[in-house]
Amino acid sequence: MTTRQPKVHSQFGRSAVQIFAANDRMNQMLIEHLDPAAWKANPPAKPPGNARTIAAIFAHIHNVRCKWVRLTAPHLKVPPQLNRAHCTPQQVRAGLAESAARCAEMLAEALGDNGGRIEKFLRDGWARPWPVGPEMLCYMLSHCCPVKLTF
C-alpha cells in the first residue's frame, strides 16, 4: 500500500509542472498579441492612481515568481527582477520565460517523488510557510493571473 504514494505524488508533480507551463504560455500569448499602445497606457482607476499599467502587472508577475524561488528554493538561480516602469514587452516575455522555468523546477522538486530539498512553500517573508502540495500550485496560478490583477 505504501508503494502507491510516491507514484501518485510523482504524477501530481508532473501535472503541476505542465499546468504551470500552460499558464505561462497563456501569459506569453497575451503579451504577444497585445496592442503595443496598451502596454504602458494608464488604465482608468477607482480610486484614481490605484491601477497598474499592463507592463507593471506582468513585471509584478515575474518579480513575485522570483521572490517565491528565492524564498522557497534558494539553491536555484533566481532570475533578475524587472523594472515595472521601464520594461519592454520583449524584456517581460524573456523574464517570464526564465521565472516560469525556475518555478517549474521548484514545483518538480517540491511535488516530485525524488525527495527534493523543498518541504515548505514560502510565498512571502511575512507569511507562514505552507507544506508543499496542491495549495502551493493553486496559489501560484491564482496570483499570476494578469486578468485578476487588473480588477
Number of domains in the chain: 1
CA pair distance 111, 118, nearest whole angstrom: 8
Smallest Cα–Cα separation from 21: which of 29, 11, 32, 9?
A: 29
pLDDT over threshold 60, residue 6: no
pLDDT at 51 over 60: yes
The CATH number that applies at residue 73 is 1.20.120.450
* Residues above pLDDT 70, as percent of the chain: 83
Kindly report the average pLDDT of the chain as a whole number: 86
Confidence of residue 4 (pLDDT cuts 50, 70, 90): very low
Cell of 141: 496560478
Q: Coil, strand, or helix at residue 121?
A: strand
Query: pLDDT at residue 108 above 70?
Result: yes
Quick: pLDDT tens for 54-106: 999 999 999 999 999 999 999 999 999 999 999 999 999 999 999 999 999 99
Question: Which residue range(s) make up the domain with 88?
Answer: 4-150
Q: How confident is the model at residue 2 (pLDDT cuts 50, 70, 90)?
A: very low
